Amino acid sequence: MTKIRSSLCGMVVLLVLVSGVVTGQDAATASATLDAPTSVNLEYRTFRKWKLTLPEEQWNPVGPGIHFATHGLKWPIAVRGTALQFDADLDGVMDVKIEGDQGLVTLSGKLASGQTWKYTVRVVNKGGWKFAPGGGVVGKIDGTKVTIVDQNGNGRYGDIGEDAMIVGRGKAACFLSKVVSVGGQAYEIDVASDGTSLSYRPYQGETGVLRLDMETKAKVLSAVVKSTDGQFSYELSRAGDGFTVPAGRYALYTGELGISSNRMRMKRGRSKPIIVEAKRELAVEWGGPVKAEFDYARQGGKVGLSPDKVWYYGAKGEEYTAFKPLGKSPKFTFTNRKTGREIATAYFPGTC
């Protein structure tokens, strides 16, 4: 904008030459365009060989039927001897039978819109028939694959902090997060409850970078953190360069380590909250050295201890269960408190 002052007949005239000026209405339109979310379709997929690791897998009783009230769908189920029967397509006929103690069934029905909706369940008979999701919806955020699983089994896909999601091509899921990290960019997302679509836009809040720096000889199969308000969650095992995440307070929720065929679980234990500061990077340093605390009982000159009375804690206070360091029993050393002299050592038989 150029302003020119001139004098004409004793009057001061202000001339304004306008070039490329955006009016208030145009600015509002430009802002709305900039902030408009990108919408993508989601495709339902059945996972016939279940290989996903969920942060909090749930199995729900089948009862007389699987009922998803949100979508107005209920599939009748009947137990006939040792078999479980389904009216899987809601045509009034029990046309699918599961025999044995487990199986996979794809249910289908019509939504109010007339669209056919599918949902696959894994069923098991362990103290009664129960079901869990056997599939999920898949799409892309800025070119990166995203998988969402109805972890709580209520038929909805948009339950932040309850459902599960995988960003990328891994197998370990975190909780469904309000903000996801893709290619160094944080995106706020909104998932349709019927799982048919999601929308995303750049996250406008303050962010930092969170990565995992774990001291262990085991392979980190999963490491899930969740914000203390339940809105954000990330699976860090594949975050070598770090994830861009909303600034705030997080905590370890669950994790899994593997050594050969052995597996051990990881949970918060005594670890303190993780504070991600705006424009700062934080490396989460879990892992060794690991210390054990245990109960023991004296019987005459002997000291006895049991594998189920031992608690293992990592460097930051995180707790490990089913702990099998290098596939062997840990060594327990008993010393005299006054002299520091070693009194005895103990191992659990075989591999603990």
- Each residue's pLDDT tens digit, 124-178: 998 899 999 999 999 999 999 999 999 999 999 999 999 999 999 999 999 999 9
Residue 3 reports pLDDT greater than 60: no
**Strand boundaries in 114-213, DSSP class E:** 116-125, 129-133, 135-141, 144-149, 164-167, 174-175, 179-182, 185-191, 197-202, 207-212
CB 350 within 8 A of CB 307: no
**How far, CA to CA in Å, does 109 sit from each of 71, 80, 91, 98, 325?**
9, 23, 9, 20, 49
Predicted confidence at residue 304, as pLDDT, reads 67
Summarize the confidence of residues 308-332 as an average pLDDT: 79
Summarize the confidence of residues 75-92 as an average pLDDT: 94
- Closest alpha carbon to 314 in 304, 325, 306: 325
Tokens of 127: 């103290």
The residue that leads in pLDDT, 22 or 255, is 255
Residue 25 reports pLDDT greater than 50: yes
Q: Measured between alpha carbons, how far is 129 from 299 in angstroms, rounded to an integer? A: 45
Residues 6+ apart with CB under 8 A from 5: 12, 13, 14, 15
Predicted confidence at residue 317, as pLDDT, reads 96
- Closest alpha carbon to 117 in 148, 94, 139, 90: 90
- To the question of pTM greater than 0.75 for the whole model, the response is yes
Q: Measured between alpha carbons, how far is 182 from 189 in angstroms, rounded to an integer? A: 12
Angle at the Cα of 248 from the Cα atoms of 243 and 195, rounded to 5 degrees: 60
Residue 217 reports pLDDT greater than 70: yes
Q: Measured between alpha carbons, how far is 314 from 78 in angstroms, rounded to an integer? A: 48
Residues 6+ apart with CB under 8 A from 113: none
For residue range 337-346, list pLDDT tens digits in order. 788 888 777 7
Q: Which stretches within the chain are classed as H helix?
A: 24-35
| Amino acid letter, residue 136 | G
Max distance between CA atoms of the chain, in angstroms, equals: 118
Phi, psi of 309 (to 5 degrees): -120, 30
Residue 65 reports pLDDT greater than 80: yes
Q: Measured between alpha carbons, how far is 144 from 245 in angstroms, rounded to an integer? A: 17
Q: What is the DSSP letter of 7?
A: E
Predicted confidence at residue 39, as pLDDT, reads 98
